[in-house]
Amino acid sequence: MKKIGIIGGGNWGTALAVVLAKQGHAVKLWAYEKEVVESINRIHENCLFLESYEIPENVVATDSIETAVQGAEIVIGVMPSHHARRLYTQIIPLLRDGTVFVSATKGIEEDSLERMSQVFAAVAQGRAGVRFAALSGPTFAREIARGDPAAVVIASQHAEAAEMVQKEFSSRQLRLYRNSDLVGVELGGSVKNVIAIAAGVCDGLGLGSNSIAALITRGLAEMTRLVVASGGKRETMAGLAGLGDLVLTCTGSLSRNRTVGTELGQGKKLAEIMSGTRMVAEGVRTTQATLSLARKMQVEMPIVEQMHALLYEDRTPMQAIHQLMDRSLKPE
């Protein structure tokens, strides 16, 4: 049994708390929203983000970051990417040497274009006693909380940290695979959200399976180019953190990013869509960061370019599709 602190009381953080608590770990869950803390501790349910799923009694919710991470052997960050640097600044000084910090955030920081491991390293300033790992792969929070079997990837430059997380998190419900490619795992988990918005646009327009299949395939090619240019491994994109997560997020009805795209395809404006939900669709912000990173790395990403134009430049969905289909012909 391990003491585990989870920072982030949304649906994914809560689902992780459920599955880890069922394995016997002592879990403290930090949530920003006081109603989340109260409902978990009072009725063992996250009434705001994961209603109707029972949370084990060995999950204790708190609104104190210090309480959540005190004495923890593993700390999991499940915050939106645009809050990561601020929260890392609060968390890192509280961590004891030997702690493994697991990032379950899928995003790229907009201003710095840094992955979460890079943001963490910048805040930690070379502190050697805390080891970083990234958790990614095809997972919907509600299915994890329900107990459906799933497989994910844990990536770290510290082999012993990845092995420890793999051992402590794995069960008959959740299977972890180790990977040393932080770049590929983090970028794959981030950029697939942009492609998922595009998949939702196709759905909102009423387009069929041909269009979705083409989008997923060419989206994977774009992700792979960016990963390789950034120092990651091509083969990572053929695994759970690449193709696996991409297929799930582009086709699953529980995908927040796909849902945003569907509503865009139906003619709604982004501001209207975002004002109507509490959930964070990371792909909206990640689109800007991904395009900036692609230009920095001199990587061609036409789907990402068109999604940026659709989200931020008032291009219509059909105009974006025509731009993609009218591009010059080339070998695959």
**Whether residue 123 has pLDDT greater than 70:** yes
Query: 130 to each of 9, 38, 142, 165, 228, how far by Cα in Å?
Result: 23, 31, 30, 14, 27
Q: For residue 172, how many C-alpha atoms fall within 13 Å in the half-sphere facing its CB?
A: 2
* pLDDT at site 276: 75
Among candidate residues 28, 106, 192, 233, the one labeled active-site is 192
**Whether residue 278 has pLDDT greater than 90:** no
**Whether residue 221 has pLDDT greater than 90:** yes
For the segment 142-173, what is each residue's pLDDT rounded down to a tens digit? 999 999 999 999 999 999 999 999 999 999 99
Across the range 188-198, mean pLDDT stands at: 97
**Whether residue 181 has pLDDT greater than 90:** yes
* pLDDT at site 53: 96
* pLDDT at site 54: 97
Tell me the domains of the chain and their CATH numbers: 3-180 (3.40.50.720), 183-325 (1.10.1040.10)
Concerning whether 167 is annotated as a catalytic residue, the answer is no
**Whether residue 279 has pLDDT greater than 80:** no
**SS3 per-residue string spanning the chain:** CCEEEEECCCHHHHHHHHHHHHCCCEEEEECCCHHHHHHHHHHCCECCCECCCCCCCCEEEECCHHHHHCCCCEEEECCCHHHHHHHHHHHHHHCCCCCEEEECCCCCCCCCCCCHHHHHHHHHCCCCCCEEEEEECCCCHHHHHHCCCEEEEEECCCHHHHHHHHHHHCCCCEEEEEECCHHHHHHHHHHHHHHHHHHHHHHHCCCCHHHHHHHHHHHHHHHHHHHHHCCCCHHHHHCHHHHHHHHHHHHCCCCHHHHHHHHHHCCCCHHHHHHCCCCCCHHHHHHHHHHHHHHHHCCCCHHHHHHHHHHHCCCCHHHHHHHHHCCCCCCC
Sorting pLDDT into bands at 50, 70 and 90, what band is 36? very high
Sorting pLDDT into bands at 50, 70 and 90, what band is 178? very high
* pLDDT at site 277: 73
* pLDDT at site 280: 66
* pLDDT at site 127: 76
**Whether residue 126 has pLDDT greater than 90:** no
- Residue with more model confidence, 128 or 83: 83
C-alpha 292: how far from chain center: 19
**Whether residue 29 has pLDDT greater than 90:** yes
Average pLDDT, the chain: 96
For the segment 42-58, what is each residue's pLDDT rounded down to a tens digit? 999 999 999 999 999 99
Sorting pLDDT into bands at 50, 70 and 90, what band is 313? very high
Cα dihedral 8, 12, 16, 17, rounded to 10, equals 50
For the segment 66-109, what is each residue's pLDDT rounded down to a tens digit? 999 999 999 999 999 999 999 999 999 999 999 999 999 999 99
